[in-house]
Amino acid sequence: MTPRLQERYNLLFLLIFLISAPALAVTEIRLWHAMEGVPAQTLGRMVQRFNAQHPEIKVVAEFKGSYGEALSGAIASTPGANGPHLLQSPDASANLLTETPGRIRSLHQLLSETKTALDTHHYYPAIAAAYADRRGGLLALPFNVSTPVFVYNREAFRKAGLNPDQPPKTWRDVQAAALRISKAGMECAYTSGMASWVHLENLAAWHNEPFATNDNGHLLHAGHAGHAGHGGAAAKAERGARGNSKLVINGELAMRHLSLLSSWVKGGLFTPAASAGEAERNFMSGQCAMLTSEAPALRELAAGSNLDVAVAALPYYEEFSGAPFNTLAGGAALWVMGGKSSAENRASARFLAYIASPAAQAEWSEETGYLPTTPAGTSSLQQRGWLGRLPGAQAAIQQLSRKAQSHSRGLRLGDFQKIRAILDQELDTVWQSSKTPKEALDSAVEQSNLLLKDFEQRLRTTQLASQSASQPTQQPVQESAAAAPAKPLKRAKK
């Protein structure tokens, strides 16, 4: 056979092989999220890059409305069929996601089963605590993380005769600064976004004061979906002995704080926001000199304003022993849903490892303003020059770097979006002087505890139905064996 004829045979053989060979199997991963605007666009670009680098995997990011809508849709979907593989949902949803066997695969379990290299022991303590089971293993991958901070206009401080390099440390310091700023002629000395999150939820955590019983619900909802807990006699006995979680925010700390803020409203020192985003807009326009808001707002301040601003830690009350502790990791995590194939779980693990990489964290933070979740992510972000663009931006990260305590690990309470709406409504009554702080807090506790009682009853009914059903389920989520390292008022969604 001549060389020319041999070449033709080789080409023919290759053509036949390519035609007969099966197409490369592509594993599709559905990621349901609740983001719009810049965060959704950034996630879309990151997904496209991952898909290009991993042709055997196709991640499809789908917007599903609010956190609550995405969560409800995921729970209602058929396991292993039309539902998501990954779900973006906040820590408050942990109770619903972990109470039914097989509904999720905990992150630490997924990584172990798929032998995926992703070190989960280096997350900032307050972030890890928000998504950890009772033994410290992560239930989900922290993703869009935020926390409240104190932001102030340095020029307004100068005009009021205040040192712009010495921000207020305590709430009494804020009052002294507000008086000076008001005397200097500025009508809005202080404003705040996301009132209940800043002035009740994080207030309690920052001072390690209980927001609710059962360690803010963690003792009942800290990973009962594990082999040592969910559905077992021990878990039921523990829940029965402890009883329903109940709000206890109507104590000395919240009463003192709301009384102080109420006096500021009456004295013209505090201008409460009437709608979502109003406080941030008023600050960025130069109308207000001081602001408490979530960290992602820092990106807008850096990109959309010529103001000379600085960021400091959230103020605290020094009368409370040990304060400050840590603020809460707001935002959401990526949860791995149960009932999926081994190939799908491996693909989900690879995507999560990509999202958790320091480079991806840095890109995500730079584009969206959400915080890096690990020191390595912060280092990568610093190398890109982002942290230096806004003086004091690391204050938010430092607040989350403190070791979480029993009352500062986050909230695991049922129907919490409804509870937050009640809290915001009651805070409005304080700002409007239609209720005293005590009346508003007592009312909020009473209404919220009815919701919590109803939620626990519905949860027990669902569990009984689940136990009696004969449908097969995947192995329940296992707790880790390792010890833990350690809106009406229409507020913007964290």
Q: Delimit the domains of the chain by residue range.
A: 27-146+330-389, 148-212+247-327+415-468
pTM recorded for the entire structure: 0.85
Is the predicted pLDDT of residue 439 greater than 80, yes or no?
Answer: yes
Q: How far apart are CA 106 and CA 156, in angstroms?
A: 48
In this prediction, residue 217 carries a pLDDT of 87
User: 96: pLDDT confidence band, cut at 50, 70 and 90?
Assistant: confident
Mean pLDDT of 294-314: 79
* pLDDT, the chain, mean: 85
Radius of gyration of the chain (CA): 25
Of the candidates 114, 102, 80, the one whose C-alpha atom is nearest the C-alpha of residue 226 is 102
Mean pLDDT of 306-317: 92
- 468 half-sphere exposure, CB direction, 13 A CA radius: 6
User: 234: pLDDT confidence band, cut at 50, 70 and 90?
Assistant: very low
Mean pLDDT of 427-452: 97
In the chain, pLDDT over 90 holds for what percent of residues? Answer: 63
Q: How far apart are CA 167 and CA 152, in angstroms?
A: 8
pLDDT tens digits, residue range 397-422?
A: 999 999 999 899 889 888 888 999 99
Higher-confidence position of 2 and 255: 255
Contact 149, 290 (CB under 8 A): no
Q: Which residues pair with 331 in a beta bridge?
A: 145
In this prediction, residue 223 carries a pLDDT of 47
Question: 342-356 vs 107-114: helix axis angle to the nearest 10?
Answer: 110
In this prediction, residue 242 carries a pLDDT of 56
Enter the tokens of residue 440.
């508003």
Enter the tokens of residue 323.
């304060």
Contact 140, 336 (CB under 8 A): yes
Higher-confidence position of 436 and 468: 436
Q: What is the CATH number of domain 27-146+330-389?
A: 3.40.190.10
Per mean pLDDT, which range of 75-84, 187-196, 427-436 is the poorest? 75-84
Other CB atoms within 10 Å distance of the CB of residue 259? 14
Per mean pLDDT, which range of 50-59, 288-297, 484-493 is the poorest? 484-493
Close Cβ partners of 362 (under 8 Å, ≥ 6 residues apart):
372, 377, 380, 381, 383, 384, 386
Per mean pLDDT, which range of 14-23, 300-309, 354-363 is the poorest? 14-23
Instruction: Note whether 27-146+330-389 and 148-212+247-327+415-468 share their fold.
Output: yes
Close Cβ partners of 448 (under 8 Å, ≥ 6 residues apart):
247, 419, 422, 423
Strands (E), 295-379: 309-312, 330-337
Enter the tokens of residue 332.
């959401």
Q: How far apart are CA 254 and CA 201, in angstroms?
A: 10
- For 138, phi then psi, to 5°, come to -75, 130
DSSP string of 250-301, one letter each residue: -SHHHHHHHHHHHHHHHHTSEEE-SSTTHHHHHHHTTSEEEEEEETTHHHHH
Q: How far apart are CA 96 and CA 104, in angstroms?
A: 10
Is the predicted pLDDT of residue 378 greater than 80, yes or no?
Answer: yes
User: Alpha carbon 22 to chain centroid distance?
Assistant: 43
Q: Which run of H or E residues covers position 89?
A: strand 86-89
Q: Which residues pair with 292 in a beta bridge?
A: 150, 192
In this prediction, residue 77 carries a pLDDT of 84
In this prediction, residue 472 carries a pLDDT of 52
CATH topology of domain 148-212+247-327+415-468: D-Maltodextrin-Binding Protein; domain 2 (3.40.190)
Per mean pLDDT, which range of 130-139, 187-196, 389-398, 437-446 is the poorest? 389-398
Q: Is beta strand 86-89 parallel, antiparallel or unpaired with respect to 27-33?
A: parallel
Please state whether the peptide bond connecting residue 324 to the residue before it is cis, i.e. omega within 30 degrees of 0: yes
pLDDT tens digits, residue range 104-126?
A: 999 999 999 999 988 888 999 99
Of the candidates 241, 368, 362, the one whose C-alpha atom is nearest the C-alpha of residue 302 is 368
Mean pLDDT of 480-491: 41
In this prediction, residue 276 carries a pLDDT of 87
